[in-house]
């Protein structure tokens, strides 16, 4: 069963438009700047947690004291 050439052209154009939209969406999702920003937000959210923040402060203080002790011995 043969199809009308105009119908075929419209289907091809719709397929092209859909492909272009998909490629735009993929390029936006895989944008390195967006991935970096997302990573920064994730790290900032974890650092905003008091348990993580105070644990890191404690580790830094212990390392600082150990370094000072090593220097003055």
pTM of the predicted protein model: 0.48
Is residue 57 in some structural domain? yes
Is residue 71 in some structural domain? yes
The predicted pLDDT at position 1 comes to: 60
Domain that includes residue 54, residue range: 41-73
Is residue 1 in some structural domain? yes
**What's the number of domains the chain is made of?**
2
Per-10-residue mean pLDDT, the chain, length 73: 84 95 90 89 92 93 94 88
Domain match, 22 and 45 both: no
Is residue 35 in some structural domain? no
Domain match, 72 and 46 both: yes
Running DSSP on this structure, what letter comes out for residue 66?
H
Is residue 36 in some structural domain? no
Cβ atoms of 53 and 47 within 8 Å: the answer is yes
Q: Count Cα atoms within 13 angstroms, Cβ side, for 11.
A: 6
């Amino acid at each position: 069963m043969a199809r009308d050439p105009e119908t075929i052209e419209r289907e091809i154009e719709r397929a092209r438009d859909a492909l272009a939209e998909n490629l735009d969406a993929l390029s936006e999702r895989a944008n390195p700047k967006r991935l970096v920003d997302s990573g920064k937000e994730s790290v900032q959210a974890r650092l905003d947690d008091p348990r993580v923040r105070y644990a890191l402060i404690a580790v830094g203080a212990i390392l600082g004291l150990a370094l000072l002790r090593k220097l003055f011995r």
